[in-house]
């Protein structure tokens, strides 16, 4: 069994959804499809949440009706006269649930209200795709993943109950796959014990695909994107990027840790634990080989892998009494960062000073400086950049740091990090 995950870009319009048909028809093994919401739908749903929580019910209802019309128009351009009316009834059922969620919004429980509304995007897109496959003679079954994945009530970042969910996956999803049908479900969402919708946080659809592959002993997971594969840097920031044909799970986790917008570590974990490879392929041309992420890869073939984080703040903390930055002070400093939920992107300490590079989030930085200032002298450099290069060489370091003011440099055998202006 293989798992295919289609993101919002691959189903952004009816033409793109229709273009996925050959990818599915060419697959000979059992197939489980995990879909994201249509492009920009999640943003629209978030806007509805915000309007409803602010008490602007008129605009929230109007935005809901607009989203419904957009999905019905999408379905009309995708489906024929036989399947469109049936799809409309199914979609209207989901919009009835959405309207009820908007009506029941609780501004004092924003995360809870968010999840009851935002979860609808994936349900709508996957429903339409199911009808489209049926129209084209592909036997399939649509499943509401909320009946499979049980989570706790950590809304917007649900923690999956592995044992309970695996039992559901084996009994519900496994039975459908054994019938030879294509199975269509949603990414990003699950539900609590009492049936409340929960979203799974950042990269939730990729995570769903990885969870289901692991629970059902899948052969592989393929994430279909609009790029040829994983690149060694963000092509929007760097010219002449290089595609990475094969990369290890460990390397991807390192890249994500340093800030690369790549596969999230929580997606990697269930795949790495089960030894299931993850492919990144291009839905615009399924014949492009793409990239594979797997357990063992010869690292000597890696190009320099570049991650650039802009809008950083470099904070230097110095003891007021000239005491050393050793275990006692380090424990106190780490506690301050932890309590304020501030992630440290780079850290270094000397005899009486401690330096940290963090994201420039105004609310977090202001509170952090106030907390640190009670016992330490604090100075900052704002609007700096954090450059990380894995598998670096002198040429690439020179090219990316020339004409820059270097504020801090750290180097290990495989990784170079530079804070610069």
Total domain count for the chain? 2
Burial class (CB in 10 A: 0-12, 13-18, 19+), 276: buried
Instruction: Report how far Cα 93 is from the mean position of its chain's Cα atoms.
Output: 28
Question: Is residue 278, in this structure, part of any structural domain at all?
Answer: no
Query: Model confidence over 189-224: pLDDT tens digits?
Result: 999 999 999 999 988 999 999 999 999 999 999 999
Quick one: 70 and 203 in the same domain? yes
- pTM for the full model? 0.90
Q: Which of 198, 225, 252 marks a domain boundary?
A: 225
Residue 261 has pLDDT above 90, yes or no: no
| Residues 209, 310 within the same domain | no
Same-domain check for residues 207 and 348: no
Q: Is residue 341 in some structural domain?
A: yes
Mean pLDDT across 406-416? 96
Q: Is 152 in the same domain as 30?
A: yes
CATH number at residue 192: 3.40.1160.10
Question: Do 46 and 138 lie in a common domain?
Answer: yes
Q: Last residue of a domain, which of 225, 256, 283?
A: 225
318 and 184 in a common domain = no
Residues 214 and 343 in one domain: no
> Residue 363 above 90 pLDDT?
no
* pLDDT at site 323: 94
**Residue 372's domain spans which residues?**
305-420
- Kindly indicate the confidence band of residue 56, based on its pLDDT and cuts at 50, 70 and 90: very high
Q: How much is the average pLDDT of 80-90?
A: 98
What distance in Å separates the CA atoms of residue 318 and residue 333, rounded to the nearest whole number? 11
Triad 302, 248, 160: Cα angle to 5°: 145
Indicate whether 6 pLDDT > 90: yes
pLDDT tens-place string over residues 89-102: 999 999 999 999 99
With respect to residue 290, please indicate whether it lies within any of the assigned structural domains: no
Give the DSSP letter of residue 171. I
The 10 Å Cβ neighbour count of residue 324 is 13
At residue 377, the 3 state secondary structure works out as strand
The residue whose two tokens read 């790495």 is: 272
| pLDDT tens, residue by residue, 299-348 | 888 999 999 999 999 999 999 999 999 999 999 999 999 999 999 999 99
pLDDT at 210: 98
pLDDT value at residue 203: 85
Domain end marker among 225, 242, 264: 225
Mean pLDDT of the chain: 96
- The answer to whether position 256 is within a domain reads no
| pLDDT score of 145 | 98
Q: Could you tell me which residues are beta bridge partners of residue 358? A: 313, 344
**31-35 and 406-411: which strand pairing?**
unpaired
Beta strands in 233-350 (DSSP E): 246-248, 278-282, 291-294, 305-319, 344-349
Distances (CA, A) of 401 to 302, 391, 397, 418: 21, 16, 6, 8
Per residue in 99-153, pLDDT (tens digit) is 999 999 999 999 999 999 999 999 999 999 999 999 999 999 999 999 999 999 9
> pLDDT band at residue 157, thresholds of 50, 70 and 90?
very high
Question: Does residue 151 share a domain with residue 32?
Answer: yes
In the sheet with 278-282, reading across from the earlier edge strand, the strands are 140-142, 182-186, 31-35, 2-6, 220-225, 278-282, 291-294, 246-248
Domain assignment present for residue 257? The answer is: no
In a shared domain, residues 56 and 189: yes
Tell whether 237 is covered by a domain: no
The 3-state DSSP class for residue 326 equals: coil
Inside any domain, residue 192: yes
Nearest Cα neighbor of 66 from 89, 44, 36 is 44
Structural domain includes residue 272: no
Question: What was the pLDDT predicted at 197?
Answer: 98
CATH of the domain at 321: 3.30.2130.10
Instruction: Based on the fold, state whether residues 215 and 330 are members of the same structural domain.
Output: no
What region does 83 belong to: left with phi over 0, alpha with psi -120 to 50, or beta? alpha
């Amino acid at each position: 069994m293989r798992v295919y995950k289609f993101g919002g870009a691959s189903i952004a319009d009816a033409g793109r959804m229709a273009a996925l048909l050959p990818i599915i028809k060419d697959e000979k093994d059992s197939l489980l499809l995990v879909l994201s919401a249509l492009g920009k739908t999640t943003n629209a749903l978030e806007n509805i949440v915000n309007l409803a929580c602010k008490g602007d019910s008129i605009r929230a209802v109007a935005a809901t009706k607009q989203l419904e019309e957009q999905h019905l128009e999408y379905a009309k351009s995708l489906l024929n006269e036989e399947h469109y009316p049936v799809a409309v009834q199914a979609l209207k059922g989901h919009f009835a649930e959405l309207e009820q969620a908007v009506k029941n919004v609780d501004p004092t429980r924003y995360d809870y209200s968010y999840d009851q509304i935002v979860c609808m995007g994936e349900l709508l897109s996957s429903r339409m795709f199911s009808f489209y496959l049926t129209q084209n003679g592909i036997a399939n079954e649509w499943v509401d993943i909320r009946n499979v994945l049980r989570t706790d009530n950590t809304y917007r970042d649900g923690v999956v109950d592995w044992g309970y969910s695996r039992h559901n996956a084996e009994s519900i999803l496994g039975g459908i796959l054994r019938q030879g049908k294509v199975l269509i479900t949603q990414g990003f969402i699950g539900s609590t014990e009492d049936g409340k919708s929960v979203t799974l946080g950042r990269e939730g659809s990729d995570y769903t695909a990885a969870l289901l592959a692991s629970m059902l002993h899948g052969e592989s997971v393929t994430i279909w994107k609009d790029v040829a594969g994983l690149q060694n840097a963000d092509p929007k920031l760097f010219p002449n990027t290089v595609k990475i044909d094969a990369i290890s799970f460990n390397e991807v986790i390192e890249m994500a840790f340093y800030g690369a917008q790549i596969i999230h570590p929580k997606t990697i974990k269930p795949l790495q634990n089960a030894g299931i490879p993850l492919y990144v392929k291009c839905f615009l041309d399924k014949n492009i080989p793409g990239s594979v992420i797997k357990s063992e890869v010869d690292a000597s073939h890696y190009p320099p892998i570049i991650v650039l984080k802009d809008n950083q703040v470099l904070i230097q903390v110095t003891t007021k009494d000239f005491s050393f930055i050793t275990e006692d002070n380090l424990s106190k400093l780490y506690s301050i960062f932890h309590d304020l939920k501030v992630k440290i992107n780079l850290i270094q300490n000397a005899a009486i000073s401690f330096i940290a590079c963090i994201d420039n989030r105004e609310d977090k930085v202001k509170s952090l400086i106030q907390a640190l200032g009670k016992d330490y002298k604090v100075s900052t450099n704002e609007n700096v950049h954090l450059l990380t290069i894995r598998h670096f060489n002198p040429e690439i370091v020179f090219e990316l740091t020339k004409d820059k003011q270097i504020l801090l440099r750290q180097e290990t055998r495989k990784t170079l990090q530079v804070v610069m202006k």
